[in-house]
Structure 1
Amino acid sequence: MSTLSVPPVLTSPQHDAVQLYKAFKGFGCDTGTVVDILAHRDATQRALIQQEYRTMYSDELTKRLSSELSGDLKRAVLLWMHDPAGRDATIVRQALTGDIIDLKAATEVICSRSSSQIQVFKQAYHAKFGVHLEHDLNFHTSSDHLKLLLAYVSITRYEGPEVDRAMVDKDAKVLYKAGEKKLGTDEKTFIHIFSERSRPHLAAVSIAYHHMYGNSLKKAVKSETSGLFEDALLTILRCAENPAKYFAKVLHKAMKGMGTNDTTLIRVVVSRTEIDMQYIKAEYQKKYRKPLGDAIHSETSGHYRAFLLALVGPNH
């Protein structure tokens, strides 16, 4: 469920484009107006505003935003202006080829998306960057982590709710044999099952595994694998069981301790606002006994804070 609040009476994209143009004119940018408009428009409206802006001023709105805004606010707003597939493509491309290689971020985006989302974002990736996602993965990742990601982005998984019980029990047994039961780990089996099975199926395997062996499948993954390969498997499993809980955890980690990982905070807030932020907020409150909005409020400031809080919506 989305937390985006759009005004009950919407102004036209043309009117928004004019207001934004006015906000940029003169000395300094009226950042408050920019935040007020863009933080309350959905993906379709944002695309239309960009179209109108281009038509009226022969200029790219994103280019103008890029020169008028700065710092974390600029990064958040520019990421927000994309459609979901374009955004995922941009995040992964930056994570794989930017100044700071962030394989954790690339892994999170890929392993938390559904099969159909991945197909669309692979097309966007190629259209935007003239290179296939698989090519960049091959170049920047390695070993079992690479094998899992390549399988995960190329296999079409079933997205319905039905689960085959016999198959679930069989997978639980096979995973036990490939991991806890043997010396060393048969990574190929983990890659095969985690990349090919649907989310409801994997969630059922996790429950069956616990029933059969008294240990959680998550714990087995943690003790049998390590590094980015472990991260990828856990992301797939956690998103199969409860994606909102997974993202609540990612957000908490980004904000706890000294300093804030703003890249992660921006990525998750911006890319989940129109999908399941309502559920993420509920999970956050449940697990950390604190509203997500309060956590964001104490870790951020200025227009950047205002923008993120507008996206996640009020606490109640």
Structure 2
Amino acid sequence: MSTLTVPPVPPSPKDDAIQLYRAFKGFGCDTSAVINILAHRDATMRGYIQYEYGTMYSGDLLKRLSSELSGKLENAVLLWMHDPAGRDAIVIRQSLVVERNLEAATEVICSRTPSQLQHLKQVYHAKFGVLIEHDIERNTSGDHKKILLAYISTPRYEGFEVNREMAEKDAKILYKAGEKKLGTDEKTFIQVLSGRSAAQLNATSSCYRDMYGHSLKKAIKNETSGNFGHALLTIVQCAQNPGKYFAKVLYKAMKGLGTNDSTLIRVIVTRTEIDMHYIKAEYSKKYKKTLNDAVHSETSGHYRAFLLALLGPNQ
């Protein structure tokens, strides 16, 4: 459930484009006006605003935003301006090719639904002129590469029906491939986790706990590590409860000295229109503090105002 608040009767995209142009005009940028408009428009509206701005002022709104804003606010607003698949494509490309920090790419790929991944693949190719599989192939290695390629290319059922017998069988297979043997049969983990629907994996996790007295998540933590382990854990946790998974990612980004702003921006911007309402509920439940309060204490200025606008009322 989204936390985005849109005016009951939003201004026309043309009016928004005019207001943005006025905010850019003159000495300095009226950043508050930019935030008040863009943080309260959905993906479709933002697309229309960009179109109207380009038509009326013969300029690229994204380029203008980039020249008027700076730092973390610029990063957050520019990512927000794209549609969900476009954002995911940008995050993955940056993570795989530019930064070679594979955590973000792993999180995005392994937390998306099969239909989201299908759309992402098309957008990625259109944006960067290369197949996402080629970038994964070139910039990852070993079992991590295998799970990402399998997960992004295997068709999976997206409904809620589960096969209980298959869940029990998969739980046994995973136990034999991991905890029961010396070493780990990674191929089996890849096969099962990339080939089952979220609901089916959830049933397998439940069977695993009933049969072996602890969670599949714990078994994966004990049996795997690094980027490969991160991929498997993301798949299993997002199958069970994506809200809880992302609440933990946000908590870790703000924990201790300093804040991991790229993670904070990525999760808030990409989940606002999907399930941020549930992420906020899980955050409050687990950490006894609202996500809004945590973000407020870790950020400042217009950057803080933008993120809090996306998060909606403090609850």
Counterpart residue number, 1:264 = 263
Give TM-score, length-normalised by structure 1. Answer: 0.99
Counterpart residue number, 2:274 = 275
Distance in 1 between the 2:14 and 2:147 partners?
45
Determine if the alignment matches structure 1 residue 38 to structure 2 residue 38. Answer: yes
**Deviation at 1:108?**
0.2
Runs of 4+ residues deviating >6 angstroms: none
Measured against aligned partners, the alpha-carbon deviations of 1:149-182 in whole angstroms (never above 9, x if no partner) come to: 0000001110000001111110000001000111
Determine if the alignment matches structure 1 residue 195 to structure 2 residue 194. Answer: yes
Distance in 1 between the 2:119 and 2:193 partners?
20
Counterpart residue number, 1:205 = 204
Counterpart residue number, 2:10 = 10
**Deviation at 1:97?**
1.3
Determine if the alignment matches structure 1 residue 21 to structure 2 residue 27. Answer: no
Counterpart residue number, 2:149 = 150
Q: Within 5 Å, give how 1:269-308 maps onto structure 2.
A: 269-308=268-307
Give TM-score, length-normalised by structure 2. Answer: 0.99
**Deviation at 1:315?**
1.3
Q: Within 5 Å, give how 1:132-147 maps onto structure 2.
A: 132-147=131-146
Distance in 1 between the 2:201 and 2:286 partners?
23
Determine if the alignment matches structure 1 residue 80 to structure 2 residue 58. Answer: no
Q: Identify unmatched segments of 5+ residues in structure 1.
A: none
Counterpart residue number, 1:230 = 229
Distance in 2 between the 1:9 and 1:224 partners?
53
Letter in structure 1 aligned against 2:145: L
Distance in 1 between the 2:15 and 2:147 partners?
47
Q: Within 5 Å, give how 1:100-119 maps onto structure 2.
A: 100-119=99-118
Distance in 2 between the 1:279 and 1:57 partners?
40
Determine if the alignment matches structure 1 residue 186 to structure 2 residue 185. Answer: yes
Measured against aligned partners, the alpha-carbon deviations of 1:240-288 in whole angstroms (never above 9, x if no partner) come to: 0000000000000000100000000000000000000000000000000
Determine if the alignment matches structure 1 residue 126 to structure 2 residue 125. Answer: yes
Counterpart residue number, 2:163 = 164
Percent identity of paired positions between Structure 1 and Structure 2: 71
Distance in 2 between the 1:175 and 1:77 partners?
42
Distance in 2 between the 1:33 and 1:213 partners?
56
Q: Identify unmatched segments of 5+ residues in structure 2.
A: none
Distance in 2 between the 1:212 and 1:257 partners?
37
Letter in structure 1 aligned against 2:87: R
Letter in structure 2 aligned against 1:265: L
**Deviation at 1:215?**
2.0
Letter in structure 2 aligned against 1:127: A
Give the match's secondary structure for 2:175. Answer: helix
Letter in structure 2 aligned against 1:241: Q
Distance in 2 between the 1:216 and 1:86 partners?
35
Distance in 2 between the 1:236 and 1:82 partners?
25
**Deviation at 1:102?**
1.7
**Deviation at 1:2?**
0.3
Determine if the alignment matches structure 1 residue 57 to structure 2 residue 57. Answer: yes
Letter in structure 2 aligned against 1:153: I
Distance in 2 between the 1:64 and 1:234 partners?
40
Distance in 2 between the 1:102 and 1:39 partners?
28
Distance in 1 between the 2:19 and 2:101 partners?
36
Distance in 2 between the 1:188 and 1:10 partners?
51
Distance in 2 between the 1:102 and 1:22 partners?
39
Measured against aligned partners, the alpha-carbon deviations of 1:116-153 in whole angstroms (never above 9, x if no partner) come to: 10010011000000011011111111000000000000
Q: CA RMSD in A?
A: 0.6
Give the match's secondary structure for 2:3. Answer: coil
Equivalent residues, number: 315
Distance in 2 between the 1:231 and 1:248 partners?
16
Distance in 2 between the 1:211 and 1:298 partners?
41
